[in-house]
Structures are given as C-alpha cells and as structure tokens.
C-alpha cells in the first residue's frame, strides 16, 4: 500500500516537473520581452499555437520528416515574431508601455480569431511527436520517452538561451538595453535591433513550448491558455525580471499543481494557481528573486 | 435655437426613442438593442478605471459573470425576488473587487493586468466545473413576474433605466472631486500623492466601481436572456470589453457606448463558429491601440469638426492632439 502511494507520488512528481518545465520555458520568453521592451506579451501563447498550426497544415503536408519540420516551424515562429515586432510594436515608440501591452492583447485576439476561423472547425488535432511512444521503467515508475524527450528539450532550450544571454555580446547588449535604453544607445547599441532580437528569440522559445505541449496532448485553438496563465504566474513568482527565478517559479508551480490535481481535484488546478499568484503578490510583492525597484510599466 | 439647446433636444428625442423601443421595434431588434444597452453600461463602468485612473483591468468579464450568476442562482434556488438578487449580486462583486484589487493594486499595473486576466480565466473554469453553477450547460432561469410584465417589455425599461443611471453616474463622477483625483492619479501617481490623494484607496475605488457596473450589467443580461452559461463569460468577454472601450475611445463619454455596439453586433450578425467579423474586430482593436489611441470617438469628433468647418467655409481646425 505504501509502495503504491510512493509510486503515485513519484509519477505525480514527474508530471509536475514536466509541466513545470514547460511553464518555465514560456515564462522565459515572457520575461525576455518584458526585460527588453517592458511589455507583458499576452500573445505569446497564441503565437506558439500559430506555429503548431503552420507545422500541421503547411509544413508536414510537404512530406518533410518530422524533426526538420519542427525546426522549420520554430524558425517560422521567429520570423512571425519579427513581423509582429515591426507592424505592431515598433510604431509610435513614444507610447507608454501599457499601451504596447494593450497591443499584444489585440494581437492575442487577432491570432485567436484567425486560428478559429481557419482551423477551429475540426479541432482537436493530433500532432506527430518527434519522440518514440514507448515508455521505460525508472525506479518503479513508468516514464514515457515523450516525457523524457520533452524534459530534455525544455532543459536544453532553457540552457542554450541562458548561456547566450549570459556569455555572448548579443546577450550583453540585451542586458544593457534592458537596464537603461538611453545609456545603451550612447554606448553604440542599436536598441531597436536588440528588441527585435528579443522578440525573435522569445517567439522561438514560445514555439518550442507550444510544439511540446501540442505533441504530448492535442492541438486546439485554446491549447495555450492555461500554460500562458501559469507562465505569467511563474514569471511573477520569479520577480518578473529574473530568468532563474522564472525557472524555479515554473517548477514549483508545476509540481504544486500536479499534486493539487492528484490530491484534490482536476478542477482545483486553475484556482490553486490563482491562489498562489495572489499570495505571492501579497506576501512577496517583488517575487521570490526580484527587487521592488526594478518594477517597470 | 442655440446649438446647445438643439443638442439637448436631440438627446432627449433619442433617449425617448430608445426607451419606447419595444413599442416600435420588432422583438429581435428590441432584444439586440437591450443587449447593446447592457454591454454599453458595462463598458461605461470599465471606462472608470481605464479612462480616469489609467488602471488597466483585463478582467471586466469576470465581474459580469459574478453579477449574472449571483443574480440567477438565488432566484433559481431560493426564489429571491429580482429586487433583492441584483443588489446582492452587485454587493458581492464589489467585495470581490476589493479582495482582488488590494494585493494587485499595491503593485505595478503590470501585475494588475495579469491578475485580472487570470481572474477572468479562473472564474470561467470554476463555474464550468461545478454542478451547483450549472456546469458547462449553464443555468436556465424561471419566468419571473418582471419578465412577464408588459409582455416582456419591462425588462427593456429596466435595462434602459440602469443604462441612463450608469451614464449619468459616470458623467457626474468624471466631473466630481473624486473624478479629478482619479485623473491626476492616472496622469502621475506621485503628483497625486503629493496632492493628498490616497493612491490605494482611489485605485481600489476605481476597480470596485467598475465591478459594480459590470455586475449590474451581468445581472440584467441574465434577466434578458433568461439563461446564464459559462461560454458567455469566457476570457474573450473580458478582452472584448476592454477592446470596446479602447476602440470607442478611452476616457470619452460616448466612446464606450459606441464600442459596445461592436461587442453586441459581431456575434449577433454572424452567428457561426468560424467568424470572420471577430477577425475584423480584433484588427480594429490592434489599429486603435497602435495608431489611433483616441479610438472611434476621436475619429468621429475630428470628422464632425472638419465637416462643421467646411460648412462654415473655413479651413479644417488643426487637431489638438
């Protein structure tokens, strides 16, 4: 009996870490845009959904193998993000941050409406996974290769991103532009280019998260909603500007809601997350890793 | 007749025509008109935090949901009269507004944006999950004395009265001491604080007032449609309400009313899942947010002054903005 409970807890933990990793990946892309452009990107989830639809309806029908097709979809997400930046974000740069946030809300509406219009009739769709469908027994817990693969891809994507941000000239320029755009310009950094790079990188991270989510469940037009909600919560828990904070926040959230689902009820997952969000704002307004002085908007 | 008098006379005629709509319109146009007034009332309420306090609340639909369910459930389960159910729903929404607003409004508007949108999302999930709230099917309300009165026309009159009261409420608020305090707070919180404006108090007040408007609108919606279902109050509704105020013109008197027309007409004109009009609406919203922050009201007033200038044979006046 106790063995059963332990196995249940371990598999719950695996599920929690898995979804926590996806929350963290999406939270990274949100924080990247927030740090460089000062905008809460509400369209991040829908941009990811769009890239999965592009994969399913335009890339895979050409007969391309699954793995390069995923790569192409991620690349396309970067291009779409760049277009969004030029059309929607860069006009009227003197507008306050909150106005630009409202624009992303408009984009969220627009992308969702387009997805429903074009593909909403026959949802949900099955998206081919790049991982084999077998599972393996790890210390008494059945773990699917797709779960291991998802975790691995999440970890690699997050690591690559963090290394780029920490150790390359582009990353340094991004950090400079985030701290003070005016000084960055004086130092010879093209802030517009940096912001464009941030949007492209965030778009690609979001697409990776969306592809992993769609292939482990189903592709639906509303697929990314709960994930975006949790990614925002994770970002706030991490203090809104801290990448490690977002990863820790995402993992805590993922594990906590996996146990809430297993222990209480599936319906308690979203209210539970919301309670965590409110409690974090109440007890540690600057997040677990942030400081109040960095607040923007 | 002086232009001012003419404007007042035109307004009075328009209002009388609106109030008397059930007697000269067919049942369907009358229904759409009532819907419009309800959503306009809700949008006017949302204009208080957005337009005056520059506090962006993305969860307006959640307060409408509270209003609708809190009106429907006591009537359905405990046979409350409407005159008790709607005020109780409004009070409940105000309390929830305080609970949500206190932690979120202490912080940046960024957290508020996320908390309010999350709130709308969570509440939608919650009412969908429980049998008590009707689950995914929603709740069907019984016929009440009011809905039968005057052959169903009484509901329209009630909606109309609430709309006029809500409009006058916003109008007087925007000119009062509170309204001025909110405007200063919206422009510059530090200046507002140094002038003795209690930031947290006024911010929470903003959100609570918008919650009151939304709950009233939600309750009226439940009465009008005789049905309360989760799909009406999904996160889309919150975003659509926000877009209505933004497209109509933030901080203007007539803008939200114009914007609400879109929210109502789009699903009514194109009743299908694959809905092209939603795309147009979203594109308009993007356009208003990106290039025309004044929205439709600004465009309309510019066109009007330009036409008036043409009529008087002068050059079009230079835009103030």
Contact assignment for B285 to A42 by CB distance below 8 Å: no
Dig out the tokens for B85 from the structure.
């159910």
Task: Write down the pLDDT at residue B2.
Answer: 67
How far is the C-alpha of A225 from the C-alpha of A42, rounded, in Å?
10
Pick the more confident residue, B5 or A46: A46
Task: Write down the pLDDT at residue A190.
Answer: 86
Contact assignment for A281 to B282 by CB distance below 8 Å: no
How far is the C-alpha of A103 from the C-alpha of B287, rounded, in Å?
8
Confidence of residue A260 (pLDDT cuts 50, 70, 90): confident
- The minimal CB distance from A103 to the residues B100, B275, B286 is found for B286
Dig out the tokens for A168 from the structure.
């390359």
Q: What is the mean pLDDT of chain A?
A: 85
Pick the more confident residue, B148 or B80: B80
Mean pLDDT in residue range B12-23: 79
The residue of chain A nearest to residue B240, with distances taken between CA atoms, is A109
Confidence of residue A291 (pLDDT cuts 50, 70, 90): low
Q: What are the beta bridge partners of residue B227? A: B140
Confidence of residue A297 (pLDDT cuts 50, 70, 90): very low
% chain B with pLDDT above 90: 21
Residues A143-190 have pLDDT tens digits of 888 888 888 888 898 898 888 888 888 888 888 888 888 888 888 888
Chain B residues within 8 A of A91 when measuring between CB atoms: 290-291
Confidence of residue A1 (pLDDT cuts 50, 70, 90): very low
- The minimal CB distance from A109 to the residues B104, B276, B285 is found for B285
Contact assignment for A121 to B246 by CB distance below 8 Å: no
Dig out the tokens for A121 from the structure.
């009739």
Contact assignment for B119 to A274 by CB distance below 8 Å: yes
Contact assignment for A267 to B125 by CB distance below 8 Å: yes
Mean pLDDT in residue range A100-121: 88
Confidence of residue B162 (pLDDT cuts 50, 70, 90): very high
Confidence of residue B271 (pLDDT cuts 50, 70, 90): low
Contact assignment for B118 to A277 by CB distance below 8 Å: yes
How far is the C-alpha of B69 from the C-alpha of A38, rounded, in Å?
37
Model-level pTM? 0.83
Per-residue pLDDT at A85 exceeds 50: yes
Residues B95-116 have pLDDT tens digits of 999 988 887 777 666 778 888 8
At which residue do the structure tokens 């002038």 appear? B195
Query: B108, B130, B276: which to substitute to probe chain A, counting the most A Cβ within 10 Å?
Result: B108
Task: Write down the pLDDT at residue B87.
Answer: 92
> Which range has highest mean pLDDT (A75-84, A125-134, A277-286, B99-108)?
A75-84
Mean pLDDT in residue range B66-81: 89
What are the backbone angles phi and psi of residue A114, rounded to the nearest 5°?
-65, -45
DSSP for chain A, please give it.
-HHHHHHHHHHHHHHHHHHHHHHHHHHHHHHHHHHHH----TTHHHHHHHHHHHIIIIIGGGT--HHHHHHHHHHHHHHHHHHHIIIIISSSTTS-HHHHHHHHHHHHHHHHHHHHHHHGGG--B----SS-S-EEEETTEEEEHHHHHHHHHHHHHHHHHHHHHHHSHHHHHHHHHHH-HHHHHHTT--HHHHHHHHHHHHHHHHHHHHHHHHHHS-B-TTTTHHHHHHHHHHHHHTTSS-HHHHHHHHHHHHHHHHHHHHHT-GGGHHHHHHHHHHHHHHH-TTTTT--GGG---
Task: Write down the pLDDT at residue A54.
Answer: 93
Q: What is the ipTM of this complex?
A: 0.82
DSSP for A110-125, please give it.
HHHHHHHHHHGGG--B
Mean pLDDT in residue range B206-210: 93
The residue of chain B nearest to residue A228, with distances taken between CA atoms, is B118
- For chains A and B, CB pairs below 8 A equal 134
Per-residue pLDDT at B68 exceeds 70: yes
Instruction: Please tell me the least confidently modeled range out of A77-91, B21-35, B171-185, B273-287.
Output: B273-287
Number of neighbours of residue B77 by Cβ within 10 angstroms? 10
Chain A residues within 8 A of B58 when measuring between CB atoms: 105
Confidence of residue A7 (pLDDT cuts 50, 70, 90): low
Whether the CB of A44 is below 8 Å from some CB of chain B: the reply is no
How far is the C-alpha of A10 from the C-alpha of A25, rounded, in Å?
22
Q: What are the beta bridge partners of residue A141? A: A138
Number of neighbours of residue A65 by Cβ within 10 angstroms? 9
Task: Write down the pLDDT at residue B147.
Answer: 67
Residues A16-40 have pLDDT tens digits of 898 899 999 999 999 889 888 888 8
Confidence of residue A8 (pLDDT cuts 50, 70, 90): low
How far is the C-alpha of B198 from the C-alpha of B194, rounded, in Å?
9
Confidence of residue B303 (pLDDT cuts 50, 70, 90): confident
Q: Strand, coil or helix: what is B139?
A: strand
Number of neighbours of residue B84 by Cβ within 10 angstroms? 13
Per-residue pLDDT at B286 exceeds 90: no
Per-residue pLDDT at B199 exceeds 60: yes
DSSP for B218-245, please give it.
HHHHHHHHSEE-GGGGSHHHHHHHHHHH
Contact assignment for B110 to A271 by CB distance below 8 Å: no
> Which range has highest mean pLDDT (A46-55, A125-134, B21-30, B178-187)?
A46-55
Instruction: Please tell me the least confidently modeled range out of A2-11, B47-56, B169-178.
Output: A2-11
Nearest partner of A169 among A188, A182, A156, judged by Cα:
A188
Chain A residues within 8 A of B243 when measuring between CB atoms: 105-106, 109
Contacts of B258 (CB under 8 A, 6+ apart): B247, B248, B249, B296, B297, B300
> Quick check: bond before A124 cis, omega within 30?
yes
Contact assignment for B282 to A109 by CB distance below 8 Å: yes
Whether the CB of A232 is below 8 Å from some CB of chain B: the reply is yes
Dig out the tokens for B236 from the structure.
């889309």
Per-residue pLDDT at A53 exceeds 90: yes
Pick the more confident residue, B301 or A221: A221
Instruction: Please tell me the least confidently modeled range out of A93-97, B124-128, B158-162.
Output: A93-97
- Alpha-helical (H) ranges within chain B are 3-19, 21-24, 27-47, 60-78, 82-105, 109-129, 145-148, 153-175, 177-187, 189-194, 199-225, 235-248, 255-269, 276-290, 295-311
At which residue do the structure tokens 């109440």 appear? A282
Pick the more confident residue, B171 or B249: B171
Task: Write down the pLDDT at residue B95.
Answer: 95
What are the backbone angles phi and psi of residue A287, rounded to the nearest 5°?
85, 180
Contact assignment for A278 to B103 by CB distance below 8 Å: yes
Per-residue pLDDT at B321 exceeds 50: no
Whether the CB of A90 is below 8 Å from some CB of chain B: the reply is no
Tell me how close the Cα of B230 comes to any Cα of chain A, in angstroms: 15
Q: Helices A2-37 and A169-179, interaxial angle, to 10°?
A: 70
What are the backbone angles phi and psi of residue A219, rounded to the nearest 5°?
-90, 120
Task: Write down the pLDDT at residue B4.
Answer: 75
Contact assignment for B289 to A103 by CB distance below 8 Å: yes
Buried b (16+ CB within 10 A) or exposed e, B34-59: bbbbbbbbbbbbbbbbbbbbbbbbbb
């Amino acid at each position: 009996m106790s063995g059963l409970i332990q196995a249940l807890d371990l598999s719950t933990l695996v599920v929690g870490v898995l979804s926590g990793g996806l929350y963290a990946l999406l939270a990274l892309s949100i924080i990247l845009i927030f740090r460089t452009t000062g905008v809460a990107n509400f369209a991040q989830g829908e941009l990811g959904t769009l890239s999965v639809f592009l994969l399913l309806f335009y890339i895979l029908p050409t007969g391309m193998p699954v793995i390069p097709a995923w790569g192409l979809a991620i690349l396309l997400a970067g291009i779409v993000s760049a277009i969004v930046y030029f059309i929607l974000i860069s006009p009227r740069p003197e507008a306050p941050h909150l106005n630009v946030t409202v624009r992303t809300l408009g984009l969220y509406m627009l992308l969702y409406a387009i997805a429903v219009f074009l593909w909403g009739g026959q949802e949900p769709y099955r998206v081919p996974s790049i991982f084999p469908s077998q599972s393996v027994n790890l210390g008494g817990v059945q773990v699917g290769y797709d779960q291991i693969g998802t975790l691995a891809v999440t970890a690699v994507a997050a690591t690559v991103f963090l290394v780029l941000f920490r150790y390359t000239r582009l990353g340094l320029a991004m950090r400079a532009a985030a701290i003070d755009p005016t000084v960055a310009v004086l130092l010879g950094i093209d802030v517009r280019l940096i912001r464009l790079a941030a949007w492209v990188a965030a778009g690609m991270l979001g697409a990776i998260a969306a592809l992993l989510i769609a292939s482990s469940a189903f592709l639906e037009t509303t697929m990314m909603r709960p994930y975006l909600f949790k990614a925002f919560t994770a970002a706030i828990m991490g203090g809104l500007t801290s990448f490690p904070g977002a990863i820790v926040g995402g993992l805590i959230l993922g594990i906590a809601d996996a146990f809430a689902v297993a222990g209480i009820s599936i319906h308690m997952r979203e209210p539970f997350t919301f309670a965590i969000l409110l409690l974090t704002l109440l007890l540690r307004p600057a997040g677990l890793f942030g400081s109040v002085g960095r607040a923007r908007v | 007749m002086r232009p001012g008098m003419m404007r007042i006379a035109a307004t009075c005629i328009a209002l009388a025509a609106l109030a008397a709509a059930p007697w000269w319109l067919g049942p369907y146009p009358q229904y759409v008109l009532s819907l419009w007034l309800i959503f306009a009332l809700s949008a006017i309420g949302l204009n208080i935090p957005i337009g005056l306090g520059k506090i962006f609340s993305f969860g307006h639909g959640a307060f409408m949901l509270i209003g609708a369910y809190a009106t429907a459930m006591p009537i359905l389960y405990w046979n409350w009269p409407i005159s008790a159910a709607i005020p109780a729903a409004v009070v409940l929404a105000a309390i929830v507004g305080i609970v949500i607003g206190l932690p979120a409004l202490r912080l940046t508007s960024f957290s508020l944006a996320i908390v309010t949108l999350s709130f709308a999302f969570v509440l939608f999930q919650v009412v969908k999950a429980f049998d008590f709230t009707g689950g995914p099917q929603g709740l069907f309300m019984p016929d009440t004395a009011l809905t039968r009165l005057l052959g169903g026309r009484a509901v329209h009159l009630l909606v109309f009265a609430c709309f006029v009261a809500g409009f006058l409420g916003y109008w007087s608020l925007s000119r009062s001491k509170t309204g001025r305090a909110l405007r200063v707070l919206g422009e510059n919180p530090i200046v507002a604080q140094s002038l003795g404006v209690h930031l947290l108090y006024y911010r929470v007040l903003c959100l609570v007032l918008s919650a009151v408007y939304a709950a009233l609108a939600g309750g009226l919606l439940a009465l009008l449609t005789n049905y309360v279902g989760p799909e009406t109050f999904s996160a889309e509704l919150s975003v659509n309400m926000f877009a209505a105020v933004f497209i109509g013109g933030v901080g203007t008197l007539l803008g939200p009313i114009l914007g609400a027309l879109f929210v109502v007409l789009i699903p009514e004109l194109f009743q299908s899942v694959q809905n092209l009009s939603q795309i147009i609406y979203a594109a308009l919203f993007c356009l208003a947010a990106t290039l025309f922050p004044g929205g439709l009201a600004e465009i309309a007033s510019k066109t009007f002054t330009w036409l008036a200038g043409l009529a008087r044979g002068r050059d079009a006046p230079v835009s103030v903005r």
